Structure 1
Amino acid sequence: MSGSDFLQLKPGDARPAGLTAWLTEGLRAAIAAGRLTPGDRLPATRLLAAELGVSRGVVVQAYQRLADEGLAGARTGSGTVVTGRGPERSPRPAADRRRTLHQLRLPLSTPDGIEIDLSPGVPDLSAFPRAAWLRAERAVLGRVTAADLRYGDPGGTPRLRSVLVGWLARTRGVRCEADDVIVTAGVAQGLALLAHVLRARGTDAVAVEDPGSRGALDQMAFWGLRPVEVPVDGEGLRVGELAATGVTAAVLTPAHQFPTGVVLSPRRRRALLAWAADGNLIVEDDYDAEHRYDRAPVAAVQGSAPDRVAYLGSVSKSLAPGMRTGWLIAPRGMQAELLAAKHASDLGNPALPQLVLAELLGSGDYERHLRGVRTRQRSRRDALLAGLRAHLPEARVAGVAAGLHLLVTLPGPVEDTVLAERVAAAGVLVQPLSWHRRRPGPPGLVIGYAAHPPDRLTEAAARIGRALNPPGRSRSR
């Protein structure tokens, strides 16, 4: 080893009469931290002395103290090498990490005994457009400039923001300009930025749907906003009950409510816009806007009130959640604060993936990919729906027209956590509806279908039917 960088020492910090002790402690700390490991060669005494601005005798004495402590020794032809180890950090059991992930409901692998994972919200990752992405990446790298790779606008590259404006206007009815768009690391970061600004403005609570996105609820709570649950029924969020809470901001999924699949009715939509017009903020999570099968999509609420809606979207359900790319379009009165928070958090998203996504959007490859995905997802939905109707005819299935999951409810007084456990025992993972609600309500199972081919979904439906109606058990009618 040559040089003294590994020591991370400043000679000016040492007392003139205590240079040997200062250097010895620095060497001990480097060994303890693992910057020096057994077998590493220490710098030559003259070299280290010159770099640190001390006499060679100080270095010789420090090396001798390490040798006396059994941490270093002289070897013929190798100089002084490290021979001992510093105090080892106690290992954290792997179970600790698994426990944390379980508490967050973020497993990195399928639980033991599960053969078919039907967790909602997971897209078909095998459908990622690798060839189109590679073509777009080559095109971008062929013309990218040095200026494109420097620290840029924390709100995102101008090219992606410009292309998103046209895409969102055409597909979702969003009204904005390129300077209104903030590119984020997914919807989660958009929620975090909004929570930061709302807290700074004195807001301490936010309304959330019940049942609703557990992720959005946990995000708001983590960043210091108290979630206030507002019930959802067959027309979507009960706006009258929202107004009665007195909160000034609400997070909701109006175009395709998670997890019920309900679309906010025209009557409720008008009421929501009237509530926002009184000085309140709608946070619109347009989480799976691309996945529509049997009806035309409902336009985003943002297009009706851009000055009262913070609109959130991402490519997590259309490309892959691991892309960590999304967008936030907020009322202009909030944008300066949001940009400052974005800059402070990460200085902006990586430039190259933004430019590649812009290329996909601009070339039409992104839209062609979505058409193929919709065709596949429709066939998968149909297979699961047909299987449930055949093997669980007493069930009521909702959320069929769009999205990546179905909501199944069964008659009778049942606990959906017990039902989910019985299904898991049959090798199929589903989520109980009670995971996504805070108030008491009807039980149900939330079943994703995007990640598996039709034959696998047919098998899953058969297993679910056998688990919930085993031989000898009379079916509820």
Structure 2
Amino acid sequence: MTDSWATFGADLHLETTGAAGLRAGLMDALREAVRTGRLGPGTRLPSSRSLAVDLGIARNTVADAYAELVAEGWLTARQGSGTRVARRAEPRRTATRATRARPVRSRPAHNLLAGSPDLSTFPRADWLKAARRALTAAPNDAFGYGDPRGRIELRTVLADYLARARGVYADPERIVICAGFVQALKLMGTVLRKRRVREVAVESYGLDVHWKLLADAGLRMPCLPVDGLGARTGELAGLRGVGAVLMTPAHQFPTGVPLHPERRAAAVDWARGTGGLILEDDYDGEFRYDRQPVGALQGLDPERVVHLGTTSKSLAPGLRLGWMVLPENLVGEVAEAKGLSDWSSSALEQLTLAEFIESGAYDRHVRSMRLRYRHRRDQLVAVLAQRAPDVRISGIAAGLHAVLELPEGSEPSVMRAAAWQGLALEGISRFRHPEAAPGRDALVIGYGTPTDSAWAGALEALCRVLS
């Protein structure tokens, strides 16, 4: 018969060597654990029987040690509450010299950084409902190691959603689930390098973290100039060593322009003619306001375009859920690379997202957020027209950020003024590729980031900076 008491109490790691006698060694180890804070005030200790079994000593030895430490004031013992670390035994935490010398850096009062949604709007109640349904219906194999491509339930639902909402040809067998865009790009860098690709072209404006991932994979990154029609894809033909190109065709980040149809066609023609690949970052593809939706570039040639999407803007970056829709001949290589890195994203989060999309909650949330962000964008445009009429605003037909044009040479001084106002934002030079030609002065304003309660204050701070 199994001893029921063996399941009671918490595990407790103690070093009892080096002391004279078992009881004395146990008492010294417990005092040291409390003194250093490893056992915090109020922590419940294992029963004397459980700890005796774990340490391989007599139960009376543990009981006597507990009793003496209670008498000394280190522990407390009450009927029905067990033995706990005494509240007054909390160790005094003194600051080290390094801690005292470290300056305190205050957080900005207002945040208009681009790249994040309003995290306060995450649909907690609907997500919880989806999680409960997903967990109830989850098959037993969902708790195993699983397929590195991701759960078939999510891949199937995503295939339908992406075809319907983004014009993507997305067979479930071509989809690999990943932990956001960063992991997707890292996997593609690994696969491209293994295929002996040496250079991946990037847009002249973008995120340096993405460029670093490609550089870490051993790839060079010549840049394509970006203008009012998007990346100048006609220049790809002149980049002889390039085997792939990373682009944001739906809404170029950070300039905010969609890739012109002729340039979309030129990019696909280049990929077909050279055997190259287009890595399509579908940035802000679901948030458009004053224009018809721009379909995914992948729909023009599913065998030459890798479509990369995430829930980071539509739901929250903390979910760490994204997807790759791959050409057929890449699926095996990407799945192998993923299996060698972290094998699988959380199965329960995948099943929850599948349920969330299939129930219609995802569509409802995206439509709701589209209206919310459009309202903020309209407020931004209206207030700037009144308070800073000389500032031209662009890149506002879609997405979660706007670009405010500044007089030539004024970006550094405006950034300093923003810092004085406690306003976190970035100039467009922050996103310029090191090899790109000098460009315009501008601010990149993330109007999706603040909560509703913080939006008015951030907008007022911005107007003070610009005026």
Question: Secondary structure in 2 aligned to 1:206?
Answer: strand
**Is residue 432–residue 444 contact of structure 1 (8 Å, CA) maintained in 2?**
yes
1:263–1:36 CA distance, 2 compared to 1 (3 A): farther
Counterpart of 2:253 (choices 258, 265, 279) is 258
Q: Residues 74-113 of structure 1 correspond to what in structure 2 (within 5 A)?
A: 77-78=64-65, 112=106
Q: Gapped runs of 5+ residues in structure 2?
A: 1-8, 19-24, 35-47, 67-95
Q: Per-residue displacement from partner, 1:254-273 (whole Å, max 9, x unpaired)?
A: 01000011111111111111
Q: What's the secondary structure of 1:302's corresponding residue?
A: helix
User: 1 CA distance for matches of 2:31 and 2:109?
Assistant: 44
Alignment CA distance shift 1:191-1:395 (3 Å)? same
Quote the offset at 1:94 in angstroms.
7.3
Q: Does 1:427 align with 2:425?
A: no
Q: Quote the residue 1:467 is aligned against.
A: 465
Q: Does residue 1:233 correspond to 2:227, yes or no?
A: yes
The Cα offsets for residues 328-357 of structure 1, whole Å up to 9 and x where unpaired, read as 112121211110111111120111111110
1:314 aligned to 310, 314, 319, which one? 310
Pairing 1:284–2:253 present: no
SS at match of 2:444: strand
Distance in 2 between the 1:211 and 1:219 partners?
16
Give 1:214 shift: 2.8
Query: Against the structure 1 CA distance between its residues 76 and 272, is the aligned structure 2 distance closer, same or farther, given a 3 Å change threshold?
Result: closer
- Displacement after TM superposition at 1:426 (Å): 1.6
Matched positions, count: 402
Who is 2:343 aligned against? 347
For residue 197 of structure 2, what is the amino acid of its counterpart? T
1:197 lines up with 2:191 in the alignment? yes
| Greater mean deviation of Cα atoms: 139-148 or 123-132 | 139-148
Letter aligned with residue 166 of structure 2: R
Cα 1:405–1:93 shift into 2, 3 Å: farther
Residue aligning to 1:449: 447
Q: Which residue does the alignment assign to 1:12?
A: none
2:150 aligns with 156
Q: Does 1:120 align with 2:114?
A: yes
Is the Cα contact below 8 Å between 1:384 and 1:458 reproduced in 2? Answer: no
The one-letter code sitting in structure 2 at the alignment partner of 1:273 is V
| Distance in 2 separating the partners of 1:368 and 1:245 | 43
The alignment's TM-score, normalised by the length of structure 2, stands at 0.78
Aligned residue for 1:159, secondary structure, equals: helix
**Alignment equivalent of 1:131, drawn from 125, 130, 141:** 125
Look up the SS of the partner of 2:225 in the other structure.
strand
What does residue range 367-406 of structure 1 map to in structure 2 within 5 Å? 367-406=363-402
Q: Which residue of 2 aligns with 1:184?
A: 178
Counterpart in 1 of 2:72?
Answer: none
| TM-align CA RMSD | 3.5
Given residue 446 of structure 1, which amino acid in structure 2 is its aligned partner? Answer: V
Aligned residue type for 1:233: D
- The one-letter code matched in structure 1 to 2:358 is G
From the superposition, tell whether residues 145 and 400 of structure 1 become closer, same or farther in structure 2 (CA, over 3 Å): same
Q: Which moved more, 1:195-204 or 1:460-469?
A: 460-469
Q: 1:287 to 1:141 in 2, by over 3 A?
A: same
Change (3 A) 1:392 1:214: farther
Partner of 1:269: 264
* Post-superposition offset of 1:213: 2.7
Distance 1:94 1:404 in 2: 38
Quote the residue 1:64 is aligned against: none
Q: How far does residue 465 in structure 1 lie from its aligned partner after superposition?
A: 3.3
Report whether the alignment pairs 1:214 with 2:212: no
TM-score by length of 1: 0.76
- The C-alpha deviation readout for 1:196-218, integer Å capped at 9, x for no partner, is 11111112221111112333222
Task: Name the residue aligned to 2:81.
Answer: none
Q: How far apart are residue 376 of structure 1 and its match?
A: 0.7
Larger CA deviation: 219-228 vs 230-239: 219-228
Q: Please tell me whether the aligned partners of residues 118 and 451 of structure 2 are also in contact (alpha carbons under 8 angstroms).
A: no
- What's the CA shift string for 1:143-163, capped at 9, x where partnerless? 223222111111110100000
State the alpha-carbon separation in 1 of the partners of residues 343 and 31 from structure 2: 35
Which residue identity does 2:294 align to in structure 1?
A: V
Q: How far apart are residue 178 of structure 1 and its match? A: 0.5
Q: What letter is aligned with 1:335? A: V
Identity over aligned pairs, percent = 42
Shift of 1:456: 4.9
- In structure 1, distance between residues paired with 2:388 and 2:203: 28
Which residue number corresponds to residue 356 of structure 1? Answer: 352
Farther-moved stretch of structure 1 (459-468 vs 287-296): 459-468
**Pair 95,123 (structure 1): closer, same or farther in 2 beyond 3 Å:** farther
2:333 alignment partner in structure 1:
337
- Verify the 8 A CA contact 2:252 2:283 in the aligned structure 1: no
Shift, 1:140, TM fit: 1.4
| Shift in CA distance, 390/335, structure 1 to aligned 2, threshold 3 Å | same
**Aligned counterparts of 2:118 and 2:440: Cα–Cα separation in 1:** 29
- 1:195, 1:220 within 8 Å by CA — same for their partners in 2? yes
Q: 1:138 to 1:93 in 2, by over 3 A?
A: farther
Aligned partners of 1:294, 1:406: CA distance in 2, in Å? Answer: 14
Give the aligned residue type for 1:149. F
- CA shift in 2, pair 1:437/1:280, >3 Å: same
Cα displacement (A) at 1:184: 0.2
